Amino acid sequence: MSILIISMYLDYHADAVFWALEKSGVDVLKWTISDFPAEQGLSINISNEFVSFHASDWTKNGKGIVGDGKIDGGCDVVWNRRIGRPQISSGTKKSDKAFILSESEHARRGFINNICQNSTWINTDSANYKYNNKLSQLTLANNVGFIIPETLITNNPIDVKEFIKKHENVVYKAFTTPQWYDRKNKNIYTAMTTKIDLNDIHEMEESIKICPGIFQKYKNKKYEIRITVMGEKCIAVKLNSQDSEKSIIDWRAGNYDFSIEEIILPDYIYLKIMTFMKKSGLLFGCIDMIVDKDDNYIFLEINTSGQFLWIEAINPEINMLSEFCKFILNNSNYNTEICSTQINLEKFSSTEISKFSLGESKEKYNKNKARYQNNTVFKE
């Protein structure tokens, strides 16, 4: 029996959980699927007699879950953390890139959706794909009884203008978290939730036409809540984002310059969350909610592969790393008690793999790749 983590290279969360599980004596494997196809081979053989597969860069020299090549070879749990985008070889012709990306994505998703079918997936690829879409999230949240902000999703600037005239206070959101890299200044920029008005729309008309966006009625809030859902357990923290000018509209813009505290959710909110998770098929997710001036709990979104270790980084008393490991083990044949409270973010932060995961360039990653995939980096 073993735990499989599917992720990208230099993923801090995946590396932290790998370290914590291995420290607890768990047979854990990490598959860096983002290297496919440039630096990784995937093969699957299908016939009437058998189905077998092989991935060329499985950790532990291809042993463990791969075994004799048959699917479902002893894996209890698969944490489908983040798969990133297929990596194309640097020498690929520009005219071939679109075709190679499309073919690689089809092959990779087909591979993921057909391995380890008897394992517990956190989360399945199909559930991740559907509920990473904000329209699907809001539709289901509304169906289970959550209060949601009035929302317009469009690429029609005329509809956006009418929406702003109706609600006055409106914010723009992107479907994803885009990033732009400033090579000159070596800065990374991203799109945050932003207030907009009619003057902005006049300047944005052509941009709206070529790129759809999410427009919502802005809700004044007392505070925000981040709810990390792990099966039937919810760890809810109150974000005092309104204490900082930078984080009033979007708490991510404040560089975490605010305090957080663990809170207990009202029973009716907890039950709605459990209904949402059951209907979506998700076992894990990070839900963002706000509490308005009238103490209404308003659902904003769920991130099916959300970050959670930042909570422990701000407030070490909330041991998110240990809790997540227990959640994984609870879905396996392992005893959750083997993951002690001594497994925490502070201890992981002092390890070699933590520094490697946070600060290394891709060039150095490539130089250390053999060690990385054979787990020697993880040994402390």
Task: Report pLDDT digits (tens) over 224-249.
Answer: 999 999 999 999 999 987 777 676 77
Q: Are 266 and 145 in contact (CB under 8 A)?
A: no
- pLDDT of 337 reads 75
- pLDDT of 34 reads 79
The helix or strand, by DSSP H or E, that contains position 165, with its residue range, turns out to be helix 157-167
- pLDDT of 151 reads 96
- pLDDT of 338 reads 74
The share of the chain scoring above pLDDT 70, in percent, equals: 82
For 59-92, the pLDDT digits (tens) are 434 333 333 344 445 688 999 998 888 888 888 8
Q: One digit per residue, pLDDT tens: the chain, 380 residues? A: 589 899 887 889 999 999 999 988 898 888 888 778 887 777 888 888 877 777 765 443 433 333 334 444 568 899 999 888 888 888 889 888 999 999 999 988 888 888 888 899 999 999 999 999 999 999 999 999 999 999 999 999 999 999 999 998 999 988 887 666 566 665 655 667 888 888 888 888 888 999 999 999 998 889 999 999 999 999 999 998 777 767 677 776 666 777 889 999 999 999 999 999 999 999 999 999 999 999 999 999 999 999 999 999 999 999 999 999 999 999 887 777 777 667 899 999 888 888 777 765 444 445 444 433 433 333 22
- pLDDT of 185 reads 64
- pLDDT of 229 reads 98
- pLDDT of 272 reads 98
Tokens standing for residue 345: 């973010």
- pLDDT of 342 reads 76
Distance between CA 52 and CA 88 in Å, rounded? Answer: 25
Sequence ranges of the chain with CATH classification 3.30.1490.20:
150-218
| 150-218: CATH architecture | 2-Layer Sandwich (3.30)
Q: What length is written for the chain?
A: 380
* Other CB atoms within 10 A of residue 139 CB: 11
- Considering all CA atoms of the chain, what is the largest pairwise distance in Å, rounded to the nearest integer? 65
Q: For 206, left (φ over 0), alpha (ψ -120 to 50), or beta?
A: alpha
Q: Are 37 and 12 in contact (CB under 8 A)?
A: no
Distance between CA 351 and CA 331 in Å, rounded? Answer: 27
